[in-house]
Each structure stands twice: as C-alpha cells, then as structure tokens.
Amino acid sequence: MASIILHIDMNSYFASCEQQANPFLRGRPVGVCAYLSDNGCIIASSIEAKEKGVKTGCRVKEARQLCPDIFLIENEPAKYRSITKKIFAILADYTDKLEPYSIDEAFLDLTGWVKSFSQAEKKALEIKKRIRDEVGDWLKASVGLSYTRWLAKFASDIAKKDSILIIKKNNLNKFLKRPLTDAWGINFSLKKRLNTLGIFNLLDLKNYPAANLIQALGKPGYYLWANVNGLPIEKVKKQREPKSVGHSFCLYKKSKDLNYLSSVLLKLCEKTGRRLRLIKKEAYTIRFGLRFKNGGGLHKSKRLKKGLFTTKSIYKIASKIMEGVFFYESVSFLAVSVFRLRPISRQMSLFDDNLKEKKISLAMDKINDQYGQYLVYWGNMHGTDKVARDRIGFRKTVNINQEGEKLLN
C-alpha cells in the first residue's frame, strides 16, 4: 500500500492564538513580538497585518510605520504551548505515528489508517473542524496530503490558507512549475547554485540528471532530486530526541559589569538546567557564547568527563569560561547550551557525590512547576525577573509520549 502522509500547519499561529484569546483583536492587524521596544522583532503577524506588509522578522518600529493601527503584543509562550498541547491531543487520535515538527506543525502517517486520499481528506476536514470546535473557532490550518513526508509539507506550504491540498503521483508535475525557493529546504544561496546548473524551477530540478546533481552538490544534491521526484527519503518519526538544549538572551542593558553578566548567565543556566532535567538527561559538553555591542565575540566549548545535570554545575563551568574573557567593550548577547546528552547516570563518584545537589534542583523544579516559574530561585538571580524571559521559537515543540496519547508538558 502506498504511503499517505498528512502535514498540518497552523496559520499565523501566535497571532491567531492572541485573536482567539481576545475577540476584540479578531479581524484586526495583530503583531506578536519578542519585545515591545522599537527594535523588538515581530515573530508572528496576523493575516490582516500581513496584508499591510508586516512580516515575520521586521522590527516593531517598521511594523508601526507599515500599519499605524496594528495591535502589538509581547509573546506569551505558556499560552501557545497550552493551545498546542490541545491540538496535538486531537492529532494523536488519528495515528500512532505523530511527529511534532514545531510548535505549529506536525506530520501524521495515516498509512493503514485510511485506504485512499479521499478518506484522508475527510480525516483532514474532521481534524480542522475538531480544532475549531474543541480548541478555538479562530484557529485555522493548512493541510498537505501526499505519499512522501517532504511532498506533504510542500503541499501545505503552497496551499491556500485554511485549505487542503493533495499531491499525487499523477499531478506532481503540475505543482512543480514553481520557483525553487517555494520548496522546503531551498534558500536563496542554494537557488543561485542551482541556477548556474541551468535549473530555474522545481520541474527543472525534477528532470535534471541525478548523477550531475550529486557531482555538483554531493549528497544534498541527491536529496533535492529525490524529494521533488517523490522518493521517500525520510519517514514520519515519533517524538524527536533533542540533541542539545540551551538558552540565549539579547541584553537590554549593554554592560561589561561582571556581576550583572553573571546574574544573567545564572538565569540562562537555570533555564537550560530545567529543560535538561525535564528530558531526564545529563550533558557532557557545554558551550558558552557572547557578542559585543559593536561586533565581535566568542564561542567556546568544553568537553567533560562528568555529566552536567544541575543548574549549579552548568553555571560553575560557564562562569569560569566567562571569567577568562577580556571585556574590551560592553556585552550585548549571552548564550549557554549543552550537548552530548545521555540518560541520567546512577553511578555516584567516590570523591564528589553531588546527590544532594541533584535532589535540591529537582525539588526546586517541582515547586516551580506546581506554583509558578521562579517562585524559588538562586539568590544571585534576584532582580532578573525581566531578564531572559520565557520565549519560544517556531522550531520548538511540546513533548508527547511514545504512544502519542498523553502530553507530558
């Protein structure tokens, strides 16, 4: 039986969530931004705002110039996660292979659950209706249906808003008469390289000799060719295991005061540590990064023999790296992340038993999860309530269990 893959992409998601929560905003231009300052970045705009030219990535100041009557709202990640969990709970009713691709996108492998694309289309309509009825009547989604994972996402990307598009083998060429950059994974830089080969649209790419593409671009060339030719390169995966966790922050107050920078770094380490403990992992590589106000900066990694698990252990190493930096001017950006994740080790060291420290971290997490973030926090974090606040990007997801039935977050 041929595969039947569904990709669902929520339209103008963060802005639609705000319009769902506040009926006064419905039908009006809305921009969701990281920060409300003039240089804050728009991370989502409503359909009405997009019609006025307000796109993701433009600055708050620019958005106000393009659309003077725009309603600007600082993002509320907890709100979006809550809505996403409800949506994913609905999606999990339709397949045992659900892949959360981002906070507003997911793949569903319907193979074996439906017998044809017409049945899959009915399921898609049912899913869209359930989202409106059970989650919010202002939430809309584009759905792509096809026989490979890549084509399903391509279909939802080029579909009209709040619609369903089906790409089959017999109508594939019809949808490939499009610009190269309409395809998932092809940016402007790659487009230029393909143009030099005489490839100017996706149909050209499909008909180009695979061997020549491999010679010019290597293995990625084959993947490009295979995707537009409808060859299944990737299957729908269940919950993806994160390869790293971390946090970063653009400082409002540009500074080279080590005490201030240390308090910000501690909060970043706490946020990183909480995510690490949530997924029950230890990390064996840490990376610290910073940028200076007028350009330049550094990124430094350190491999470890002993796994990091607690906020204190992450901060101890990150701060040591930072203390070795010569601050020739004010810092504008700080970042910390951890890699080489492994399941929590139960082996206790003879010389450095930090079991008590682990228990303290877990107890603090439990209190903060139940009664609100940062109800209990490390003393050096005092006064950082407006620093490195919770935020979420489009490639962030919520966790589901392996069966896809119960949401963990």
**Cβ proximity of 86 and 79 under 8 Å:** no
**Cβ proximity of 129 and 139 under 8 Å:** no
Mean pLDDT is highest, among 6-10, 257-261, 273-277, 396-400, for 6-10
pLDDT at 346 over 60: no
pLDDT at 393 over 70: no
**Cβ proximity of 224 and 150 under 8 Å:** no
* 30 CB-contact burial (10 Å; exposed 0-12 / middle 13-18 / buried 19+): buried
- Sign of the dihedral defined by the CA atoms of residues 133, 139, 142, 144, in that order: negative
pLDDT at 402 over 70: no
Task: Give the chain's radius of gyration (CA, Å).
Answer: 24
pLDDT at position 221 is 92
pLDDT at position 2 is 83
Q: Which pTM was predicted?
A: 0.74
Q: To the nearest whole number, what is the mean pLDDT of the chain? A: 85
Contacts 24+ apart (CB under 8 A), 16-24: 16/46, 16/136, 16/138, 16/139, 16/140, 17/79, 17/80, 17/83, 17/136, 17/139, 18/46, 18/73, 18/76, 18/79, 19/46, 19/138, 20/83, 20/136, 20/137, 20/138, 20/139, 21/79
Helix-then-strand count for the chain, H and E: 14, 12
Distance, CA of 404 to chain centre: 19
Ordered by where they begin, the domains of the chain are: 1-169 (3.30.70.270), 176-237 (1.10.150.20), 245-377 (3.30.1490.100)
H helix runs in 75-209, sequence order: 77-91, 117-130, 149-158, 172-175, 188-196, 202-207
Mean pLDDT confidence for 54-83: 90
Whole-angstrom CA distances from 187 to 155, 183, 221, 273 are 18, 9, 14, 34
* Confidence band, pLDDT 50/70/90 cuts, at residue 239: low
pLDDT at 396 over 70: no
DSSP state at residue 139: -
pLDDT at 407 over 50: no
